[in-house]
Structure 1
Amino acid sequence: MKRIIVTRYGPPEVLRLEEAETPAPGEGEVLVRVARAGINFADLLARMGLYPGVPKPPFVPGHEVAGTVAALGPAVAGLAVGDRVVAGRSFGGYASHTVAPRATVTRLPDSVSFDAAAALPVNYLTAWLAVMHPGALQPGETLLIHGAAGGVGVAATQLAKICGAARIFGTASPGKHDWLREQGVEPVPRDDFRAAIREATDGRGVDLVLDPVGGDHLLQGYRCLASGGRIVTYGISAMAPGRRRSRLAQLREWWRTPRFNPLWMMGANRAVIGVHLGRYRDAERLQQAQTELFGWLESGEIAPRIDSVFPGAEAAKAHQHIHDRQNIGKVLLDFA
C-alpha cells in the first residue's frame, strides 16, 4: 500500500509518500481500499503539531475516506467485500488502504460519488452540529458564517437554507465574494465584520455565528449576536496563520481567546457553544445527522462543492493550496 506520513511537525514539505505493508483488519474492523481522502483544516493543524491529540511523528493524517471494502475482520456484519463505502478515522486516511471500525463505515448509495462521499463526514457533520443541533437555527433567523467559502462554510450555507434562514452573511477572501453572492450569501469584510453586521441588521445583530477562527475573532463574533443569539466555536485557525508552527502566534491567540463570564451571557441573553466532532460522544445524534445528510444528498438539497482533487502523492501541494486560501469548497486526495 501507499501512504502519506508526517515525518515531523512543520510546513507542507514534511509530508512524504512511502510504501508500507497493507494492514489486516482486526475484530470489528473493515479494510477500505481508498479512492478519495478528504482534507480538512484539522489536518493542516495536525501536520504542524497544533491539533488536540495529534500523534507524534511519524503518523498518517486524514479523518475521512471513500472507497470499497477490501477485507472484513471477524464479527463484522452488514458489509461485503466490494461494497462502496465512506468511513471516518481518527487518523490514517491519507493512504491507499486504511482500517476503520465497523461503526464508522457506511455503505454508499449507487447515486453518491466517491468525491461527494469523501467531502461529507467531517465538513457536513460539523456543519450539522453547528447549524442544526446544538446551533438550533430556526426559520426566519439570520446567521454569520466565517470562512463561508471553505468546506464547512459551504455545508453550513446549504443547511441554513434547509432550515429556512432569512439572511446568511459570510466572510471569505475578497476574490470569493462574487461566488458567495451566487450562493445567496451576503459577503462582509473579514477585518471589520462586526461593523458590517451592525449596519446590515440595523444594530440588531444575528441569531447565530459560526466561528472556526478563535482568539479575539471569537469575542467580536459574540458581540455580533442579537438577544437570544448563539455563537458556535469549532476551531482556532488563528493559531496557524502560516505554513509553519509559530509559538508566538499560539501564545498570542491563546492570550486573546475570551473567557466568557456566565453573568455576561445571562445579562445579554447570549450563548457560547463548543463543537469538536472528534470528541462528540452522542452516537445516536450523529447517526441521525448522517441519515438526514445522506437523504438530502440523494434529494439534491445538499451538494458538496469539490474545489480540486490532487493525486495522493501531491498531498503537500494540496495543503499549500489551502494555506494560500485558494480553495472554494472541498479539497480531496486521489488514491484510486
Structure 2
Amino acid sequence: MRAFGFKEIDGEIVELDRLRPEPKAGEVLIRVSHAGVNFAEVQHRRGDFGAPEPDGDVPGLETAGVIAAVGPDVHGLAVDDQVTAYLPNFGGYAEYAVAPAAFTYPIGDLDPVTAAGAPTVLTTAYGLLAGTGRLTPGDSVLIHAAAGGVGSVAVQIAKALGAGQVIGTVGSVDKVAYAKQFGYDEVVLRDGFAEQVPELTNGRGVDLVLDSVGGQTRADGLEVLAVFGRLAAFGDAGNHPDLTLAVRPLWKSNQLVGGFNIGDLARRAPELVTRFARAALRLVAEKQVRIDVTDVLPLSEAGAALDRLAGGTNQGKIVLAV
C-alpha cells in the first residue's frame, strides 16, 4: 500500500513501501479516504517523540474512511461503516490505517473531509476546557493560536459549555478577521497580549488560558490569570526551551498550571478520550461547532502541509486526500 513518511529527523516526507496492516483484538482497519494534519505531526517529524524507525515513520493522528476489517472483541462497528478515528500511534498518511475501536466514531452526516479533521482537534479542545481547564459557566478564557485547528473549535466549544468572555491571540494581523468569525469576543496580536488582557477584562484577568505556544507566551499567560485562574499547556509550537516554574509564586497568587496531552490520556485513561471525543462530536452534529477545513491537499503533498504548520502560516485545518 502507499504511505508517506520520513526516515530521519527533520527529513523529507517521501513515499514508503508498506504492507497492509491487519487489525488485532479491539482494533479496526480503515481504508483511508482523508487524513487530518496536526501540529503534533510536525513535532513527530522534528524528533520530539524520538528517532524514526529504520524503515521510516508514517505520521498522521486522525483519519476518515470506511472500515475494511474488524479485529476480535470489537462491538458496535462493522465492515463498510463510514468512520473517523484518532490514531495514538500515528499512521494516518497511508491508504490503510489500524485504529483502536474505542477511538473510532461513525461520522453520521459529516462529510469525510470534515470528519478527517475532527478526532484530534475536537478531543483536545474539549479535554482542555472540560478536563484540564475545569471550565464552569461564565468563566473567561484566553486561547492562543486562535486561527489554528484547535483554536478555531475551542472557542466554539467554550461558548457551548457556557463560557463568558473568550479572547483569542494570533501571530499576525492577517489572521485576526479569520479567527473572529468563530465567535471570539476579542482577537489581539500575541505580541503584547499581556498588556491588553487586563484592559479587556477590566483588570480582573481571565479564568483560563489555553496555551500551545510555550516560551515567553506561556510565562506571560500567568500574569493575566484571575484569582484561581488556570493555565493549560497543550503544545510547544514555538519549540522553546521548557519553562522552570517555582511553586511558591503559584501558591502566593492563587494560580494553577496544568496540561493536556491526548497521547498520555490514550495510554492511561482511554475512556476519557472516547468521552471527550463523543461529547465534542455531538456538538458538531447539533451544529454548535463547525470545523473549518481551509485546504485539501493530495497525500503526496504531506510534506508541504507540515511545512505550513511549522511556519505558522496556516489558518484553520489542512486535510490530505488519500
TM-score normalised by the chain length of structure 2: 0.92
CA contact (8 A) 1:38 1:65 kept: yes
The aligned length equals 316
- Secondary structure, in 3 states, of the residue corresponding to 1:65? strand
Deviation at 1:53, TM superposition (A): 5.1
Separation in structure 1 between the aligned mates of residue 214 and residue 300 of structure 2, nearest angstrom: 32
Deviation at 1:80, TM superposition (A): 1.8
Correspondence list, 1:116-265, <5 A: 116-172=114-170, 173-185=172-184, 186-239=186-239, 253-254=240-241, 257-265=242-250
Number of the residue aligned with 2:10: 10
CA contact (8 A) 1:189 1:196 kept: no
Residues 1:313 and 2:284 are matched in the alignment? no
Residues 1:294 and 2:293 are matched in the alignment? no
Give the one of 17, 20, 32 matched to 2:18.
20
Number of the residue aligned with 2:61: 63
* Unpaired segments ≥5 residues, structure 2: none
Larger deviation, residues 160-169 vs 150-159: 160-169
Paired AA for residue 320 in structure 2: L
CA contact (8 A) 2:67 2:79 kept: yes
RMSD of equivalent CA atoms: 1.7
Per-residue Cα deviation, 1:243-279 (whole angstroms, up to 9, x for no partner): xxxxxxxxxx32xx33223322121111001111100
Alpha-carbon spacing, 1:222–1:2, altered in 2? closer, same or farther (3 Å):
same
Number of the residue aligned with 1:283: 270
Deviation at 1:325, TM superposition (A): 3.0
Larger deviation, residues 68-77 vs 211-220: 68-77
Paired AA for residue 296 in structure 2: V
Paired AA for residue 180 in structure 2: R
Give the one of 34, 44, 49 matched to 2:47.
49
Deviation at 1:54, TM superposition (A): 6.0
CA contact (8 A) 1:128 1:289 kept: yes
CA contact (8 A) 1:35 1:66 kept: yes
Deviation at 1:222, TM superposition (A): 0.9
CA contact (8 A) 1:208 1:231 kept: yes
Separation in structure 2 between the aligned mates of residue 114 and residue 220 of structure 1, nearest angstrom: 39
Alpha-carbon spacing, 1:231–1:63, altered in 2? closer, same or farther (3 Å):
same
Correspondence list, 1:95-134, <5 A: 95-109=94-108, 111-134=109-132
- Secondary structure, in 3 states, of the residue corresponding to 2:132? coil
Larger deviation, residues 268-277 vs 320-329: 320-329
Correspondence list, 1:316-331, <5 A: 316-331=303-318
Give the one of 243, 251, 255 matched to 1:266.
251
Number of the residue aligned with 1:333: 320
Alpha-carbon spacing, 1:54–1:170, altered in 2? closer, same or farther (3 Å):
farther
Separation in structure 2 between the aligned mates of residue 181 and residue 100 of structure 1, nearest angstrom: 35
Separation in structure 1 between the aligned mates of residue 161 and residue 195 of structure 2, nearest angstrom: 26
**Percent identity for Structure 1 against Structure 2:** 36
